[in-house]
Chains A and B, each alone.
Chain A
Amino acid sequence: MNLSRREFLQILAIAAAQGMPLASGRAMAAARSGNLYELGKPQGNVTLMHFTDCHAQLLPGYFREPDVNIGVGDARGRPPHLVGDALLRHFGIRPGTREAHAYTHLDYVAAARTFGKIGGFAHLATLVRQIRAQRPGALLLDGGDNWQGSATALWSQGQDMIDASKLLGVDIMTGHWEFTYGAKRVQEVVSKDFKGQIEFLAQNIRTADFDDPVFPSYTLREFSGARVAVIGQAFPYTPIANPRHFVADWTFGIQEERLQRVIEEVRNKGAHAVVLLSHNGMDTDLKLASRVSGLDVILGGHTHDAIPRPVPVKNRGGQTLVTNAGSNGKFLGVLELDVRGGGVKSVNYRLLPVFANLLDADTGMAELIKKHRAPYETRLGETLAVSEGLLFRRGNFNGSFDQLILDALLATQDAEIAFSPGFRWGTSILPGAPITTEDVMNMTAITYPFVTTSNITGENLKNLLEDICDNLFNPDPYYQQGGDMVRVGGLQYACDPTQKIGSRISDMRLKGKNIEATVTYKLASWAPVAEGASGEPVWDVVTRYLRDRKVIKPPVLNRPRVTGVAGNPGLAAIR
């Protein structure tokens, strides 16, 4: 029997869907033998490396994967909506291993202490060099959310990341949070810093007035015997999820009809393989793959899902493989295509976890990082408090660092209820570790950090929670925005993700008393999207709170009572 890689993947997917534990692919086998980064014999003539959503994390750190990532409707129980043991079973990963630690929250603190920090651009640079040595001509693709997420990125308008990306050897990029520095800054970087080195692609950004393209849609690259098209797809809902005034003259959207035309255009120009570098989010990519034909692979990001194997999706033209490569510099995807006779004959994909203690720091990159940090080093290193518990962010409903932010807002803003946005970026802090200014900025560094308070009626509070919840749990991914649920302090509620908008949120209470529709409550929140909003930056509020407390006890997570999802493999037992 001579199975092609595609057929093999299909069988894997079918078997996995039936819940069969699987012996996993080469990467896992290599990992068990200790050669995580040895690729072995080439699996084709085209190699594309892919990282995404690094969120400006230049230094190695910790990032805990979610224990709550619920899928509803068709997405129930399918990647990416698997957490913990369910994820390990689906992908055939042995519990207790390095890979199990990379992909799940299981036994997080002990495993983090055993396996050490992840990511870091100096270590990533070494890995990229090792891959290039094994696969000459390999391209490096960055899915975006690179310039935002740290103090140094914010204070330099992304310059540290721009310089680091060039040194890393990024060839092609698309974007999302990049746009929160404003349209002008992005265009300046693309036309000056990136010129002749990094191509910034986005088929789905046009001018609002005449529908003119703002960036090229695609690039054609030659490999030995193969022409490969890479098409860029920026985050479609940038003007909605982030302040619209940063990109007031541009319009985004998924634009699948235009994407189909671009695919036809590159095929007509002789592309043997077509890859979409996407910041849609995995659920959106899975739907897109079913509706658009002619894409071989979607290299995806945005939703921060670390998915060890591609998900095959059937469509009119055959099949498209969909990947998602995690976040925080924790993973490097390596895609090999065997292109022969005018098309892709087989595909091999590995998602390599970047373990800092398995990769030497690249000296050139380490120098560059040091240079960029030098002016801020003292300030970044200031210890504000010590954390007794694990601090993290990721998860559908709340994270312990978000709880800390909520506690700080409630303590300082004279408000009964606090909201903190459901961002998916932000690092983790191990128990006993100091919380530094740098840590606080890793959780809050945005260009619209203002804390605001408002008076809101119970009815509007309910409508707001319903609206945000629908952005997460609408069964149609095209109506999702890819963030998590707003984190809520002070207010208790119940949430049934399987219901429709208007019926998911119930049993809203404040200190045990029912929320009344007509009563007005004082709400504190941060990251307003309205133009002209102002207020104290949230990092100052949190910093003051930490300095006052000095020791932070493990925050008690205020999570909604989640109903309707018993047994959902996207929900780990909450301890």
Chain B
Amino acid sequence: MKDLRRNFLKLAGGAGAMAVTVAAGLLKPGSAWAAPWNKTAFESKASADAIKNLGAAELVESKDITITAPDIAENGAIVPVAVTSKIPNTQNISIIAEKNPFPLAASFDISAGGDAYVSTRVKMGQTSDVRAVVKAGGKFYTAVKEVKVTVGGCG
């Protein structure tokens, strides 16, 4: 069974599968694909600009957002980052690697009633705070976790 899944993944990968996995959440059918690409947010070169361009004038720190990411990245090229929001009516979850040249790494629209859980992999060149920005009920909330990227060696 495990091997089957692995083979499937390889085939799917070869066929050019979607790079981003939305594990348990529900993508808005249609609208996730059709939603206008937030070009200005993704092309922002500073984290503050990306946040502003997501439409967040003000961010409220929230304990209801959980970021699951390694303390030290095993491979900076593919850092697994998952975000869970327990904030009611979560509409969007965005992931920002603050020191990346283009900090906004991913932005997910969540349809009403969907599990507000997203999981993806982010490329990181250096140690940085990873910030989740959650839009819920028209307001913006945030949480931060530091992910260290190190040269390694010296065990």
- Residues of A that sit less than 8 Å from B by CB: 176-177, 207, 209-210, 212, 235, 237-242, 244, 251-254, 257, 421-423, 464, 467-468, 470-471, 478-479, 481-484, 486, 501, 527-529
Q: Does B11 contact A (CB under 8 A)?
A: no
Min CB–CB distance B10 → chain A (angstroms): 10
Min CB–CB distance A174 → chain B (angstroms): 15
Interface contact B150-A254, CB-CB below 8 Å: no
Interface contact B152-A241, CB-CB below 8 Å: yes
For the complex of A and B, the 3 pairs showing the least CB-CB separation, nearest first, are A241-B155, A483-B154, A239-B74
- Contact partner of A486 among B75, B127, B154, CB < 8 A? B154
| Interface size range on B against A | 20 to 34
Interface hit among B1-9, B50-58, B90-98: B1-9
Cα(A571)–Cα(B150), bound, Å: 26
Residues on A with C-beta less than 8 A from B5 are 209-210
Interface contact A176-B155, CB-CB below 8 Å: yes
Residues on B with C-beta less than 8 A from A483 are 154-155
Cα(A118)–Cα(B146), bound, Å: 42
Cα(A195)–Cα(B18), bound, Å: 41
Within B128-146, which residues are at the interface with A (CB < 8 Å)? 146
Interface contact A253-B9, CB-CB below 8 Å: no
Told that A479-B146, A479-B148 touch, could you supply 15 new A-B pairs with CB distance under 8 A?
A207-B2, A209-B6, A212-B2, A238-B155, A241-B152, A241-B155, A253-B71, A421-B155, A423-B154, A468-B154, A470-B148, A479-B71, A479-B72, A481-B72, A528-B153
Interface contact A240-B9, CB-CB below 8 Å: no
Cα(A239)–Cα(B73), bound, Å: 9
A-B contact pairs, 8 of them (CB 8 A): A209-B5, A209-B9, A210-B5, A240-B73, A423-B154, A423-B155, A467-B151, A470-B148
Within B105-135, which residues are at the interface with A (CB < 8 Å)? 127
Residues on B with C-beta less than 8 A from A241 are 152-155
Q: For residue B6, which residue of chain A has the nearest CB?
A: A209
Cα(A237)–Cα(B152), bound, Å: 9
Q: Does B88 contact A (CB under 8 A)?
A: no
Residues on A with C-beta less than 8 A from B68 are 257
Residues on B with C-beta less than 8 A from A501 are 127
Residues on B with C-beta less than 8 A from A238 are 155
- Contact partner of B75 among A239, A468, A471, CB < 8 A? A239
Residues on B with C-beta less than 8 A from A464 are 151
Cα(A239)–Cα(B154), bound, Å: 11
- Contact partner of A421 among B71, B72, B150, B153, CB < 8 A? B153
The winner among B70, B75, B153 for most chain A CB atoms within 10 A is B153
Cα(A77)–Cα(B152), bound, Å: 27
Interface contact A467-B150, CB-CB below 8 Å: yes
Residues on A with C-beta less than 8 A from B2 are 207, 210, 212
